[in-house]
Each structure stands twice: as C-alpha cells, then as structure tokens.
Amino acid sequence: MPFQTILQELVETVPHAVGAILVDWEGEAVQEYCHCDPYDIRFMAAHKGIILSRLRETHGDNQGGPIEEVMVTAEKQHLLIGAVDKDYSLVLQVGRPCPLGLARFHFKRALLQVREEL
C-alpha cells in the first residue's frame, strides 16, 4: 500500500485529524496528507521529527527500551509522533476534541503499515 494511501486513510478515519506526514531523520517530508496548507504540516513535522530523533538519541536502552511514540499536547491540538524505524517518523496532528484512544489505535496501525512498506 503506498504511503499516500496509508496517510489518507489515517487522516480520514481519525475524527478531528488535521493531517499526517512521514518525515526522515532530518525532518524532511517524504509524504503527507492533510486538510491544511501542506507547508504548515511540513514545517511542524520537521521540528517534531527532529525532536523525536533527539529524544531517541538521549534515551538510553536501560531506561525501558527505545522510544516508540511521543505525544505533545497544546492548547488546540495533539501531535502524535511515532518512530517508524531509526530514520523515519510518522506525525499525526489532531484537534483537541479528538478521542486520543481512537487516534492512537489508528496511528499505531498506520505505523505498522508504513514499516511494512519500507
């Protein structure tokens, strides 16, 4: 399944989803699907992907294993940031009214699908 299809399905399935984007370790966009200006989600994801990479570098294996997922909550949105592998991250942006359990369920499914495609 192509990345575009995976991201579109994720965004269309999760209530209040704004967009999803796959980024590399430098924060460069590989593919995105969003209900906003693509520049906005690329800009946001570049910074969040870099943050996840840095967290993974500083988090030792003796502290419970490698970081798999980080959630950032802001006044108007949640960002789910997941490690696809050591080089790629998936970022999902959702509005605050989104049920987080449902968002995480679909996010984890999308992570698995992206891993299979890589």
What gap in Å lies between CA 23 and CA 21, rounded to an integer? Answer: 6
Q: How far is CA 2 from CA 9, 76, 108, 109, in A?
A: 11, 30, 17, 14
Mean pLDDT of 30-39: 87
In the prediction, which pLDDT does 53 show?
67
In the prediction, which pLDDT does 49 show?
63
- Per residue in 66-116, pLDDT tens? 778 888 888 999 999 998 988 888 999 999 999 999 999 999 999 999 999
Q: How confident is the model at residue 63 (pLDDT cuts 50, 70, 90)?
A: low
What residue ranges define each of the domains in the chain, with the CATH number in brackets? 3-117 (3.30.450.30)
